[in-house]
Structure formats: structure tokens, C-alpha cells
Amino acid sequence: MPMPTILIDAPTIHERIRAMAAEIEREYPSGDEIHLVAVLKGGFMFLADLVRGMSADVTMDFMALSSYGKGTTSSGQVRVLKDLDSSLESRHVIIVEDIVDTGLTLHYLQDILRARAPKSLRTACLLSKPSRRQVDVHVDYIGFTIEDRFVVGYGLDYAEKYRNLPYIAVLEGE
């Protein structure tokens, strides 16, 4: 198995996520509830740290979409594998995603969630690889912008492995 090399270490990630949580809270009227929709599986660790940095009333739900499977390139095909448990109508919704790469997944997700009539819809991504973008997709909060490298850790996988790493890494030999 290829060896992971640290690209963004754990303290840097935590500091950035704390700042993102504070920025998000500042931008919503105080007293308003914020509903976070995390995309499984990659978004679970980002969500867990993001919500721990927030003191507003927060609710959360999870959605699973088809992803790359075992490869590292986008198929461009997106399917809902697990839908949300509750309605988004009249709620402040934030999509919580691990990474925006080609943008195809997020573009699709934003379209289907917007159709569910939320009061507002924003997107928070831990990572962005702008050089890979195939569709113009708007992301309100970006943790880190990275180059076109395949990364793992902090929720992100390669063939379902490495999600548990507490840092973002690139795979040597990749």
C-alpha cells in the first residue's frame, strides 16, 4: 500500500475549521437555526469538528452519493445512495463536503437541495482543487485550496482506506 505523506497537519486543520465555524456563525442572524447536511462518507470528520466549533442552534443530517468507487478519477455520474431524513423547507441549510474536485457532485447536489425550498443554501468544503473544475460551482466557505494531487485522510479515502488519518496526506508513488 502507498505511504501517506502529510500535506496539511492536524493543528493547521483544526485552526482553520475553528475559524470557518466562527465565520459561518457571524453570517447568520443570531437565534436562527442552522441545518448542516454532510455528504457521506468523506464529510464526517469535517462535520464533527465544524459543529464542535459552533455554539448556535445546529441540526444535522446526512446524505450519501455515489463517488469514485475504487479509482481516483470522476465518473461524472452521481446517484443518491442515501437521502436525507427530514425536509429542508424554510431552513438555513449548509452542505458540508470534504472536497470539491471537478465540481460535478456538488453541482448536482446543490440543484437537488435547492429544489427542496430551503430558506437559504450555502456550501462549506474543507478542500478545493480549482484546477480540476469541469463545472462552475459556487462554494461559500473553503478550508484550503490545494493543487491537483490525490489526497487522503481526515475523512477522505483511497479504496475506502486512510479515512481515519487525523491529517490530509498525499500518497507517495501516486
Q: What are the residue numbers of the active site? A: 101
What is each CA distance from 83 to 16, 18, 62, 87, in whole angstroms?
A: 29, 28, 7, 11
Selected from 98, 118, 124, 128, the binder of ligand IMP by CB under 6 A is 98
Residues in binding contact with ligand IMP, number by CB under 6 A: 18
**Distance, CA of 66 to chain centre:** 14
Cα distances (angstroms) measured from residue 58 to each of 33, 105, 136, 167, 170: 6, 24, 29, 25, 32
Strands (E), the chain: 4-8, 34-40, 58-65, 80-82, 92-100, 120-128, 141-145, 151-152, 168-171
User: How many angstroms separate the CA atoms of 82 and 172, rounded?
Assistant: 33
According to the binding rule CB under 6 A, does residue 104 interact with ligand IMP? yes
> Of 25 and 61, which has the nearer Cβ to ligand IMP?
61
Q: Which parts of 134-163 interact with ligand IMP (CB under 6 A)?
A: 150-152, 156
Q: Determine, following the binding rule CB under 6 A, whether residue 123 of this chain makes contact with ligand IMP.
A: no
From 18-26, 27-35, 56-64, 102-110, span contacting ligand IMP (CB under 6 A): 102-110
User: ∠37-39-43 over CA atoms, to 5°?
Assistant: 105
Establish if 59 lies at the interface with ligand IMP (CB under 6 A).
no
Comparison of 28 and 68: residue with beta carbon closer to ligand IMP: 68
Residue with smaller CB distance to ligand IMP, 49 or 98: 98
Q: Is 100 among the residues that bind ligand IMP (CB under 6 A)? A: yes
List contacts with ligand IMP (CB under 6 A).
Answer: 42, 67-68, 74, 97-106, 150-152, 156
